[in-house]
Amino acid sequence: MPKYLIERDIPEAGKLSGQDLHAISQKSCSVLNRLGPKIQWVQSYVTDDKVYCVYIAPNEEMIRQHAEEGGFPANRISEIKTVIDPTTGE
């Protein structure tokens, strides 16, 4: 199943409190449960003004549906073609 990187423009994301992040996570999981097992949230990275999320889903449309239902921006969605790490160079 394809893996996607979602870039979300969220001003001052880096200043979100633990409580804010908890509520956002709960909302996301609630939407994921409604959408069914074909879409999975793997991990997210919070920076100053963006959140980068890794999801597994059958297509980009399902990612957009999750964003719309959850009220989250999905400013850019890119399919991850390959993953490399330091062991790739060995």
**What residue ranges do the domains of the chain occupy?**
3-83
pLDDT at position 84 is 96
pLDDT at position 4 is 98
Query: Considering only CA atoms, which of 71, 76, 68 is closest in space to residue 52?
Result: 76
Q: Is residue 52 a contact partner of residue 7, using CB atoms and an 8 Å limit? A: yes
pLDDT digits (tens, 9 = 90+) for 20-34: 999 999 999 999 999
CATH number for the domain running over 3-83? 3.30.70.3090
Phi, psi at residue 56, to the nearest 5°? -110, 130
- The pTM (predicted TM-score) of the whole model is 0.92
Burial of 50 (0-12, 13-18, 19+ CB in 10 A): middle
d(CA 27, CA 23): 6
pLDDT digits (tens, 9 = 90+) for 49-78: 999 999 999 999 999 999 999 999 999 999
pLDDT at position 33 is 97
* Residue 80, beta-bridge partner list: 3
